[in-house]
């Protein structure tokens, strides 16, 4: 708290100085925030073009650059100017810079955005530099940069004032640039694989496609309550029914009115896709190919580190049925257990507390979450989930208690979830009715049966494999981010007053 109070005191004085300079600039040059200014190249373009320029050589080339002032030395003689692509040094001296431009230097503060026209040279020390001939004030800033401009030390302040975090923290800036590359990489991969990108509604009259509490809103004109989507699944399946394409995907924003943690944010990004005439094994192959390409995009290799852990996205990933995984860790053979009561008894005997009405499948899934998830460090496909908790997947042949579903885990986290999708309309309705009854029993009275989806399934959906990938968690892995809030530009947070 003391540090914040000191920063506030300093900021107050610095802000007054900047306001005085702004007034002087308005009197001297008029427009301090001009609408029209065009640079001839970015700082990165400049560095690339003159990478072979030798030390202590001045060119005859005149260029125009623009950016934010990050440091100023010798009363503005040397300025480090940064744009989104990198840094360039600006040199102002009476031998090279007209007096009118030099008169601007005392008015420039750290954080101001300026434009500079001048001659390119490389100093004796090898620094690529522009000898300033013209300096244009483009944006006079009224607030100072953080005192320690290499990054904000207050974590909550970084999330609340992300603009300052990125301005002053190269690690954060790089991470969000990498996020953009990952998202665009997912899109390119899916399109290259023959998938069509579609868009489905964020506002829905009936929420579904996942088990989660929704955010509720109200449409004034239609005079009806609506929900922010918790998943795009049902609309994407309706798209598959339409025959628009045999392979559809959406990079989508979902909203779930639930907890916040280092791996959960109420608003998050998923990639969900459906592939006609494919099954969950085809989807496993797709996941492995996608993950390998993204790792190559970011790291130039399928091997990378998350913290101190070496991760390999080189396929094939380990594939293990959930009952086998639970047996390996706990010794309990759920496939040998026949009834719900026996499953509860076995779990209790092993020291686990289970609810008195839990089914065989719920006990199996609980033990997996409690004991197995923490062991899944390298990428693994956990297959054969209980049907009790998987209402949209097809049964495993010969084992009706299990379904053709897998979740992809890495670093103990669930990253993806996939099914051989159920397309039997009678079975689909029966499972959704059962799921609805369970939701109502839990007190979710607003949950409804999606009759429009069931009507579409009655029309006939081809056999298909479906997949949902948690894009934010995948980005966390690929960028070595400790929290989901480090990969979401503006994460959910309490109001400052709270």
**Model pLDDT for residues 246-303, shown as the tens digit of each residue:** 999 999 999 999 888 889 999 999 999 999 999 999 999 999 999 999 999 999 999 9
pLDDT of amino acid 148: 52
Residue 34: what pLDDT?
97
Helix (H, G, I), strand (E, B) or coil at 57: strand
Query: What is the distance between the alpha carbons of residues 432 and 113, in angstroms, rounded to a whole number?
Result: 57
Residue 442 has pLDDT above 70, yes or no: yes
Say if residue 191 carries a ligand binding annotation.
no
> Both tokens of residue 134?
């013209």
pLDDT of amino acid 78 = 97
What gap in Å lies between CA 245 and CA 264, rounded to an integer?
A: 32
Q: β-strand 86-91 against 128-139: which pairing, if any?
A: parallel
pLDDT of residue 116: 98
CA gap 411, 483 in Å, rounded: 13
Q: Looking at residues 230-243, what average pLDDT do you find?
A: 96
pLDDT of residue 238: 97
Q: How far apart are CA 169 and CA 70, in angstroms?
A: 12
Structural contact between residues 351 and 291, judged by C-beta atoms closer than 8 angstroms: no
pLDDT score of 213:
87
Question: What is the reported pLDDT for 70?
Answer: 95
> 408-425: per-residue pLDDT in tens?
999 999 999 999 999 999
The pLDDT value given to residue 239: 97
pLDDT of 13 strictly over 60: yes
What number is the average pLDDT over the span 371-394? 94
Task: Kindly indicate the confidence band of residue 241, based on its pLDDT and cuts at 50, 70 and 90.
Answer: very high
User: CA angle, corner 217, sides to 214 and 220, nearest 5?
Assistant: 155
**pLDDT per position as a tens digit, 452-477:** 999 999 999 999 999 999 999 999 99
Q: What is the pLDDT of residue 146?
A: 83
> What is the distance between the alpha carbons of residues 174 and 326, in angstroms, rounded to a whole number?
39
Per-residue pLDDT, averaged over 169-191, amounts to 97
Peptide bond into 316 cis (omega under 30): yes
Digit-coded pLDDT (tens) for 67-109: 999 999 999 999 999 999 999 999 999 999 999 999 999 999 9
The confidence score (pLDDT) of residue 11 equals: 40
Residue range 354-358: average pLDDT? 91
Average of per-residue pLDDT values in the chain: 93
Alpha helices in 368-470 (DSSP H): 425-441, 451-459
Query: Over 70: is that where the pLDDT of 482 sits?
Result: yes
CA distance 356 to 457: 35
**Tokens coding 92:** 């102002």
pLDDT of amino acid 156: 85
Yes or no: say if 22 and 142 are a contact pair by the CB < 8 Å rule: yes
DSSP 261-326: BTTB-SEEEEEEEEEET--HHHHHHHHHHHHHHHHHHHHSSSEEEETTEEEE-PSSPEEEEHHHHH
pLDDT of residue 1: 34
Query: Is residue 8 pLDDT above 50, yes or no?
Result: no
Distances in whole angstroms, Cα of residue 373 to Cα of each of 234, 391, 470: 28, 22, 16
The pLDDT score that the predictor gives to residue 9 is 37
Give the residue-averaged pLDDT of 13-35: 93
Give the model's pLDDT for residue 12: 52
pLDDT at 87: 97
> At residue 448, does pLDDT exceed 90?
no
Picking from 123-137, 257-271, 274-288, 370-384, which range would have the lowest pLDDT averaged per residue?
Answer: 257-271
Query: Which helix (H) or strand (E) segment is 475 a member of?
Result: helix 471-479
Is 407 known as a binding-site position? yes
Residue 395 and residue 402 in contact, taking contact as beta carbons nearer than 8 Å? yes
d(CA 84, CA 292): 28
- Structure token pair of residue 164: 């300052």
- Rg (the chain; Cα; Å): 29
pLDDT bracket for residue 2 (50, 70, 90): very low
Between CA 250 and CA 253 the distance in angstroms is 9
pLDDT digits (tens, 9 = 90+) for 308-325: 999 999 999 999 999 999
Token readout for 423 is 């397309």
pLDDT of residue 151: 55
pLDDT for 210 beyond 90? no
Mean pLDDT along residues 125-148: 93
């Amino acid at each position: 708290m003391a540090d914040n109070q000191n920063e506030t005191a300093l900021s107050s004085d610095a802000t007054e100085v900047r306001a005085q300079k702004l007034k002087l600039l308005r009197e001297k040059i008029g427009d301090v925030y001009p609408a029209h200014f065009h640079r001839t190249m970015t700082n990165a373009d400049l560095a690339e073009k003159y990478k072979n320029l030798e030390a202590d050589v001045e060119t005859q080339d005149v260029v125009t650059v623009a950016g934010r002032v990050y440091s100023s030395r010798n009363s503005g003689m040397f300025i480090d100017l940064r744009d989104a692509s990198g840094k360039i040094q600006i040199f102002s001296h009476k031998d090279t810079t007209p007096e009118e431009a030099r008169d601007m230097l005392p008015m420039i503060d750290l954080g101001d955005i300026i434009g500079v026209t001048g001659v390119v040279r490389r100093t004796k020390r090898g620094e690529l530099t522009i000898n300033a001939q013209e300096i244009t004030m483009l944006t006079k800033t009224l607030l100072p940069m953080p005192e320690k401009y290499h990054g904000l030390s207050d974590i909550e302040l970084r999330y609340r004032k992300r603009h300052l975090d990125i301005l002053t923290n190269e690690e954060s800036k790089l991470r969000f640039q990498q996020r953009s590359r990952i998202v665009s990489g997912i899109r390119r991969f899916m399109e290259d694989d023959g998938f069509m990108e579609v868009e489905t509604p964020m506002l829905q009259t009936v929420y579904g496609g996942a088990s989660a509490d929704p955010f509720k809103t109200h449409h004034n004109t239609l005079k009806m309550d609506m929900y922010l989507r918790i998943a795009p699944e049902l609309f994407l399946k309706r798209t598959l029914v339409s025959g628009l394409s045999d392979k559809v995907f959406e990079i989508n924003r979902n909203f779930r009115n639930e907890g916040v943690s280092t791996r959960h944010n109420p608003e998050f990004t998923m990639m969900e896709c459906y592939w006609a005439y494919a099954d969950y094994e085809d989807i496993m192959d797709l996941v492995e190919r996608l993950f390998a390409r993204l790792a190559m995009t970011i790291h130039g290799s399928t091997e990378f580190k998350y913290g101190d852990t070496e991760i390999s996205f080189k396929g094939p990933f380990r594939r293990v049925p959930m009952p086998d995984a639970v047996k390996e860790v706990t010794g309990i053979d759920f496939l040998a257990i026949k009834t719900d009561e026996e499953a509860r008894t076995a779990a209790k005997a092993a020291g686990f507390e289970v609810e008195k009405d839990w089914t065989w499948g719920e006990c199996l899934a609980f033990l997996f979450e409690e004991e197995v998830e923490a062991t899944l460090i390298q990428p693994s496909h956990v297959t054969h989930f209980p049907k009790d908790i998987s209402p949209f997947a097809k049964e495993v042949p010969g084992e009706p208690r299990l379904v053709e579903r897998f979740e992809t885990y890495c670093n103990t986290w669930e990253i993806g979830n996939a099914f051989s999708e159920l397309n039997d309309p009678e079975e689909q309705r029966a499972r959704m009715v059962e799921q609805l009854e369970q939701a109502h029993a839990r007190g979710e009275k607003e949950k409804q049966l999606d009759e429009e989806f069931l009507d579409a399934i009655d029309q006939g959906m081809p056999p298909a494999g479906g997949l949902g990938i948690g894009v934010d968690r995948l980005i966390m892995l690929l960028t070595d981010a400790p929290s989901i809030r480090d990969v979401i530009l503006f994460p959910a947070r309490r109001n400052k007053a709270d």
